[in-house]
Amino acid sequence: MTLPVILHVDLDAFFAAVEQRDRPELRGRPVIVGGGGPTDRGVVSTASYEARVFGVRSAMPLRTAAALCPNAVFVPVDGAKYLAVSSEVMTILRRFTPRVEPVSIDEAFMDVTGSQALFGDGESIGRQIRSAIADELALTASVGVATTKLVAKVASDLRKPDALVVVPPGDEAAFLAPLPITRLWGVGARMADDLRELGVMTIGELASLDATLLERRFGKNGAALAARARGLDADPVADRAPAKSIGHEHTFDIDTSDPEVIERTLLAMAEGVAGRLRATGVKAATVTVKIRDSAFRTVTRQRTLPDPTDLTEPIWRAALELARPEVRGLRVRLLGVTASNLGQRDQLSLFSGDGIGTGREERGRRLVEAEDEIRRRFGERAVTRARLLGTGLPAPFERDPMTAAEHRRPRASEEH
């Protein structure tokens, strides 16, 4: 039986880290995100690690935070910006598996059990994810790797910030044993007090209690509590609703203003997008390009196509026309191409005999589908365009922006 490989990815001091990234003058300084300032009656949404050393914590009144850290810089919450960055993070996670379960704006579970043949074991995938988030978004993330969501979550939180903690199969109970009971899911302040009355201070001491005693004391939650204390958790990573768009992004190793490089990169991404559309059995009516320059300024431009498509050429042409006026005079750090307004492909229009497509269109589609089959059998690079040979561009990965189920408001208190 193959054991699950679960990752919990948790961005470090997310709101504050985004502000420090986008405002260089804040880097290295204590930053408190939330409310209108130190005299505001609101609460802290998150604090940078520089502020936390003074005792500032999420959900703390802003006035208390200001008293603890009088030199802090107070920044209002920018929910739209944090949602946009969160979407970019989820895009990176979905490069490694479609089984991604966002649990808040700054964290998600991943089941990478079926991805190891492509990307390596859980530890290797965790390292790749952390590197991608750092290289592409200039943020840090902590990752826990385990056989259950419970243990992966505890692991990711254990050595923050910017940490990778791996719990090997079979070591779950030993890993949890020395930790305080408040680290365990479902143990709030009141239950922690009840457990301390029983002489329980650590998760290991909780695991050693008789399950019957826990059931008598805590009712139906007692058995679940005993199981969690041993690292047992049958809760699977829950897939979200189908993606509402498909796209690719590419971050250049060196920022570029070369028009040929930009055009080739857009072509590579358009080809990847089109392939994913065909594999999913949908066509797109809208194309969006994303451009980020060397100063981390980001613009997006969008166009509705004359006819929905799942082919490379119309997506690429639209992307080119959108990007060209925007990249003039810029050194480009990142490019992205996304297809949206997805609809099921009209099967009658795809093949001969329906009287809709021309013979040339039909032959072109048959060629494209033959290429798709070769890639499925022999890998993404088995067939490529001559213009992309020797460019060094990586095979693009699927980009699934946040679905409706993931588009939640930033939570008021973002702790990690």
Active-site amino acid positions: 107
- Bridge partners of 164, per DSSP, are 143
Continuous segment of H or E residues that includes residue 133: helix 122-137
101 close to 109: Cβ distance less than 8 angstroms: yes
Distances (CA, A) of 151 to 11, 40, 204, 235, 307: 17, 38, 14, 12, 48
Residues with Cβ within 8 Å of residue 198, at least 6 apart in sequence: 209, 213, 217
**Separation of alpha carbons 103 and 406, rounded Å:** 8
Distance of CA 239 to the CA centre of its chain: 13
User: Among all chains, which residue has been given the structure tokens 């006819």?
Assistant: 307
Q: Which amino acid is at 277?
A: L
How many helices and strands, by DSSP H and E, does the chain display? 15, 12
236 close to 388: Cβ distance less than 8 angstroms: no
145 close to 123: Cβ distance less than 8 angstroms: yes
**Separation of alpha carbons 156 and 11, rounded Å:** 10
Continuous segment of H or E residues that includes residue 339: strand 332-344
**Separation of alpha carbons 252 and 265, rounded Å:** 10
Name the pairing type of β-strands 141-146 and 164-166.
Answer: parallel
SS3 329: coil
Enter the tokens of residue 331: 């050194």
- Bridge partners of 332, per DSSP, are 256, 293
